[in-house]
Amino acid sequence: MANYKELFEKELKKHNLNWCHGCDASRGHKRGFVFDKDKTTVHLDSQICTRATLHRGLHEIGHCVNDEKGQLRWEQEAGAEKFANDKMKEFGISVPRKTKARGVSYVRRKKRHGDNIRMARR
């Protein structure tokens, strides 16, 4: 079986994506991100050597490959989480409980944040 970094790089290649380990972007690369206007590069400065970091990388790939136009932010995050979880399952690798719980919490927080904004605008 390939190591986690090889699986991540294989998935990048499959979707014709680039991996940026650090550039002049205003955001930090530690947590990872993808620019909405340029969904060809995953910005992530993490070593892909654990199940959790593989999941983080796959989550960012999910943002690149999912059609997120017209979706609310929490829907985008839920889609990226689903992509990462499905890929891990496809690879036969279990998602760590903490990672899964953080993903659920993150999506809920984004939904709650959006709901609060909508309520405030009424």
pLDDT tens, position by position, 31-42: 677 776 778 888
Helix (H) or strand (E) holding 50: none
Q: Where are the domains of the chain?
A: 4-121
Please tell me the predicted confidence (pLDDT) of residue 39.
84
Q: Mean of the pLDDT values across residues 73-99?
A: 95
Are the CB atoms for 53 and 30 separated by under 8 Å? Answer: no
Q: Mean of the pLDDT values across residues 44-71?
A: 91
Q: Mean of the pLDDT values across residues 80-106?
A: 95
What is the DSSP-derived secondary structure letter of residue 1?
-
Q: Is the pLDDT of residue 111 over 60?
A: yes
Q: Is the pLDDT of residue 30 over 60?
A: no
